[in-house]
A and B are shown apart, each in its own frame.
Chain A
Amino acid sequence: MILQHVADGILSGAVVALGAIGLSFTMKMLRFANFSHSELLTWGAYSALVFVAFFSSFGGFLDRTIGPFSFGASLLLAMPCACIATSMVALLLHRFVFERLSRMAGHMTMVFASFGVALTLRHLVVLIWGSDPIYYSRELQFAILLPGNVRVMPDQVFLLGLTVVVVIALHLFMSRSRAGISMRGVAENPDLARASGVNVDRIVTWVWVIGASGAAIGGVLYGMTVQLRPELGFSLILPLFAAAILGGTGSLYGAVLGGLIVGLSENLSVMVIPTTYKPAVPFLLILAILYFRPEGIFGERSR
């Protein structure tokens, strides 16, 4: 059974990691804790629903499921569209809320504003799509038995594979592309980066697009393997923060590792404590990391 809990932990950790990447970047580069970030997962998942319906309406191969998976080409096409739509939501929020506030207000104001934004986004979802759970596909997928008596669903294998691809792509972007290197520069020291001729506003746009796209993919994968609910993102907010803080803000690998640790510890915890206390595990992780290594695993000690 321990292997099953490990498998479950890695799978739920992968979604947390995708969400935590964006949260970690915004926390480091825009210097505030964005509590509305988790709502971007919800928006990503729900906007994909619209695109899935759109692409499926063409029928043909778009409407058919692929191999053992519960979804078809329409969902694969919907995913990048959802990334674009969610990035637009994030940029609008930046333009009309966070950028304006950051010019005149302090950190706490930003944090509380992000709470307000989170509530608004969540209830807009309720207003548009209703509060009942929705599924991309009503079909129930049955798990396949892997060696070691571990059961996973084909969709979950896809989830894990796509997460690995996204992380590798981001790694290449951050280490090879000019925008990625500038981004790391801004994270280190925005004033110095600006003085060296880096267009900070462009970089901030990149941060939002990457963060929102990661969140959208995470949201779609979550919706695909579990279900869509307006509280999808909200219920992940603690694991997301735990992962971002655990890994060290601004670090890609930190966020990924943090996500996996959160997922694993949540799932393994039920072997020793009653399941009702499971939601408390991310809290304990945050407390522990802030106590022993406040800068996070990959974070740098601030001067």
Chain B
Amino acid sequence: MLQKFGLAAVVAALTGIGSSAGAVDCPVKLGAILPVSGPMGQVGERIAETGLFAVEQFNEAGGVLGCPVEYVLRDTQGQSAVGVDAAKSLVDLDGVQALIGAVSSGVSLPVLTSVAVPSKVVQVSCCSSSESFTTLAEEGKTEGYWFRTYATNRSQSAIGAKLTVDSGFRKTAVIYVNTDFGVGLAKRFERDIAKLGGSITSLVAYNESQQSYRAEVTKALEGNPDSLFLVAFPVDGATITREWLSLGGTDNLIVNNSLRSDDYFQAVGSQFLQNMQGYDSAQPRLPSVDSFNEMFEARFEGPPNGPGLHSVYDAVTVVLLAMEASGDITGDSIRDNIRLVTSPDGVEVYPGPEGIARAKELLAEGKTIRYVGATGALSFDGNGDVQAPKMTWKLDGDENVETGYMSTAEVAELIRMLDG
């Protein structure tokens, strides 16, 4: 499989325009560390192919600074040790200045701290969503070399809080799962809802896989909350919801995206959940996304269904555009130019060979551009994070219906307001 990719990469590189420019050595190498084998192999292979597709399209538009781009893929097997070795060999032996990947946060994190940052190489992940990266960036430990084109968990508490306050609830109880994910989300929710004018009556953590949550529910009922924000997974979530309702808790429920599941609705009984509301991630509704989907279908004879495909395409394209914009290819200049090619007041450019050719023209004219790609308009904040659109939903009978949609810009605006 790897050999096939390698061959394809070389072919892709050669189909690009081969004229060499003075400033850089041809071909330009772009490293990718993805789990093409191991437990995430099926997902990783599709992501790797889509990354190569993005490189091919860039080469069709003339490559970077007149040089064809070579896509050098290394397998992480989904393991951190293998991933770090792969990244080290890409940086030390192949001399890449930018890494795409990895998929799991558990692999991306050691690669970032022990390879990318010390070697001053940019790392752009398509898929890692952990908030640890945001914390690391806030502490200055990523030195700005870290970016990701996949939304973090940050927006969840913001949307949950907004949904709660917009529904007119002012006294909210929070029951959350006692994991990194749940604790982080609940703490953020507490801050967010205060800013929006709501308040918390109690924050109650629960341990997973307990038989009964009576004590937790009784505790959360203190202070007569008018609503409950529940951060849970379906099985325990159903137990908690049943006990909550039985003990006289309000049926004004706001739930996190994991509870948008038929298992949960059935275990509790849909008839008791008619006042429940929830949120989830949504695909952006933009022409650039449709045009990516069409190009993908034409190339792979199937729609881009699966995690990380849109985001890896954008990760690759943004890095290559930043190389083009900087004029030389070093980790530092890529890092400094990524925000210039996604500038909110730049001229909009779109995915595909024509869009990229247009972007290169604009950059040559010295203009700033805004790449609107497969995941919509990317806007990296100071920590290298992006936002994704969100939707809200409720149950109507047994039917799960969408009640609202927030575009990326609206989500980003909400978070700016809450963090500002």
Chain A interface (Cβ within 8 Å of chain B)?
1, 4-5, 8, 11-12, 132-133, 138-143, 145, 151, 153, 222, 226-227, 229, 231-232, 235-236, 266-267, 270-271, 274-276, 278-279
Task: Find A235's partner among B211, B215, B216, B235 (CB 8 Å cutoff).
Answer: B211
Which listed segment binds A: B240-248, B318-326, B404-412?
Answer: B240-248
Q: Which 9 A-B pairs have the closest CB atoms?
A: A276-B205, A226-B212, A235-B211, A270-B215, A275-B216, A276-B178, A8-B214, A267-B215, A270-B219
Task: Find A133's partner among B219, B222, B238, B248 (CB 8 Å cutoff).
Answer: B238
Closest to B216 in A: A275
13 A-B contact pairs sorted by A residue (CB < 8 Å): A8-B218, A132-B263, A133-B239, A140-B245, A140-B272, A142-B248, A151-B248, A226-B211, A235-B211, A267-B218, A275-B215, A275-B219, A278-B216
- Let me know if B210 is at the binding interface, CB within 8 A: yes
Task: Give the shortest distance, in Å, between B186 (CB) and chain A (any CB).
Answer: 12
5 further interface pairs, Cβ-Cβ under 8 Å (given A8-B218, A275-B204): A12-B214, A140-B268, A229-B211, A235-B210, A267-B214
- Let me know if B110 is at the binding interface, CB within 8 A: no
Neighbouring A residues of B243 by C-beta, 8 Å: 226
Neighbouring B residues of A151 by C-beta, 8 Å: 247-248
User: B205 to A143, Cβ gap below 8 A?
Assistant: no
Neighbouring B residues of A231 by C-beta, 8 Å: 209, 211
Neighbouring B residues of A266 by C-beta, 8 Å: 215
Neighbouring B residues of A271 by C-beta, 8 Å: 219
Q: Complex: how many Å from CA A109 to CA B267?
A: 41
Closest to B245 in A: A140
- Let me know if B269 is at the binding interface, CB within 8 A: yes
User: A236 to B218, Cβ gap below 8 A?
Assistant: no
User: B218 to A5, Cβ gap below 8 A?
Assistant: yes
Neighbouring A residues of B214 by C-beta, 8 Å: 8, 11-12, 267
User: B206 to A142, Cβ gap below 8 A?
Assistant: no
- Let me know if B275 is at the binding interface, CB within 8 A: no
* Size of interface on B: residues with Cβ below 8 Å to A: 30
Task: Give the shortest distance, in Å, between A284 (CB) and chain B (any CB).
Answer: 16
Q: Complex: how many Å from CA A278 to CA B210?
A: 11
- Let me know if B42 is at the binding interface, CB within 8 A: no
- Let me know if B15 is at the binding interface, CB within 8 A: no
Task: Give the shortest distance, in Å, between B178 (CB) and chain A (any CB).
Answer: 5
Knowing A138-B269, A227-B239, A274-B205, the reply to whether A143 touches B248 (Cβ < 8 A) is yes
User: B211 to A232, Cβ gap below 8 A?
Assistant: yes
Neighbouring B residues of A267 by C-beta, 8 Å: 214-215, 218
Knowing A151-B248, A236-B211, the reply to whether A140 touches B242 (Cβ < 8 A) is yes
Task: Find B246's partner among A1, A12, A153 (CB 8 Å cutoff).
Answer: A153
Q: Complex: how many Å from CA A143 to CA B248?
A: 6
- The DSSP consensus for interface residues of chain B is helix
User: A142 to B245, Cβ gap below 8 A?
Assistant: yes
Task: Find A140's partner among B211, B221, B235, B246 (CB 8 Å cutoff).
Answer: B246
User: A222 to B246, Cβ gap below 8 A?
Assistant: no
User: B215 to A5, Cβ gap below 8 A?
Assistant: yes
- Let me know if B167 is at the binding interface, CB within 8 A: no
- Let me know if B132 is at the binding interface, CB within 8 A: no
Neighbouring A residues of B219 by C-beta, 8 Å: 270-271, 275
- Let me know if B261 is at the binding interface, CB within 8 A: no
Task: Give the shortest distance, in Å, between B116 (CB) and chain A (any CB).
Answer: 35
Closest to A142 in B: B246
Task: Find B267's partner among A11, A12, A133, A236 (CB 8 Å cutoff).
Answer: A133
Q: Complex: how many Å from CA A5 to CA B268?
A: 24
- Let me know if B207 is at the binding interface, CB within 8 A: yes
User: A235 to B209, Cβ gap below 8 A?
Assistant: yes
Task: Give the shortest distance, in Å, between A17 (CB) and chain B (any CB).
Answer: 16
Query: Most chain-B Cβ atoms within 10 A of its Cβ — which of A4, A139, A141?
Result: A4
Closest to A231 in B: B209
Knowing A142-B246, A143-B248, the reply to whether A278 touches B215 (Cβ < 8 A) is yes
Neighbouring B residues of A141 by C-beta, 8 Å: 246
Task: Give the shortest distance, in Å, between B411 (CB) and chain A (any CB).
Answer: 31
Task: Give the shortest distance, in Å, between A253 (CB) and chain B (any CB).
Answer: 25
Neighbouring B residues of A153 by C-beta, 8 Å: 246
Interface positions, chain B 162-219, Cβ under 8 Å from A, are 178, 204-207, 209-212, 214-216, 218-219
Neighbouring A residues of B215 by C-beta, 8 Å: 5, 8, 266-267, 270, 275, 278
Closest to A144 in B: B248
Task: Give the shortest distance, in Å, between B228 (CB) and chain A (any CB).
Answer: 15
Neighbouring B residues of A133 by C-beta, 8 Å: 235, 238-239, 267
Task: Give the shortest distance, in Å, between A20 (CB) and chain B (any CB).
Answer: 16
Query: Most chain-B Cβ atoms within 10 A of its Cβ — which of A1, A229, A278?
Result: A278
Closest to B268 in A: A140
Task: Give the shortest distance, in Å, between B276 (CB) and chain A (any CB).
Answer: 14
Task: Give the shortest distance, in Å, between B46 (CB) and chain A (any CB).
Answer: 30
Task: Give the shortest distance, in Å, between A243 (CB) and chain B (any CB).
Answer: 16
Closest to A266 in B: B215
Closest to B205 in A: A276
User: A4 to B269, Cβ gap below 8 A?
Assistant: no
Neighbouring B residues of A140 by C-beta, 8 Å: 242, 245-246, 268-269, 272
Task: Give the shortest distance, in Å, between A156 (CB) and chain B (any CB).
Answer: 10
Closest to B222 in A: A1
Q: Complex: how many Å from CA A209 to CA B100?
A: 65
Task: Give the shortest distance, in Å, between B367 (CB) and chain A (any CB).
Answer: 54
Q: Complex: how many Å from CA A153 to CA B248?
A: 10
Neighbouring B residues of A226 by C-beta, 8 Å: 211-212, 239, 243
Closest to B239 in A: A227
Query: Most chain-A Cβ atoms within 10 A of its Cβ — which of B212, B215, B235, B246?
Result: B215
Knowing A140-B272, A278-B215, the reply to whether A132 touches B246 (Cβ < 8 A) is no
Task: Give the shortest distance, in Å, between A149 (CB) and chain B (any CB).
Answer: 10
Task: Give the shortest distance, in Å, between B84 (CB) and chain A (any CB).
Answer: 33
Task: Give the shortest distance, in Å, between A160 (CB) and chain B (any CB).
Answer: 14
Neighbouring A residues of B239 by C-beta, 8 Å: 133, 226-227
Q: Complex: how many Å from CA A266 to CA B242?
A: 21
Q: Complex: how many Å from CA A279 to CA B238?
A: 20
Closest to B206 in A: A275
Neighbouring A residues of B238 by C-beta, 8 Å: 133
Please encode chain B, from 147 to 166, with 1 for each CB lying within 8 Å of some chain A CB and 0 for all others. Answer: 00000000000000000000
Task: Give the shortest distance, in Å, between B286 (CB) and chain A (any CB).
Answer: 40
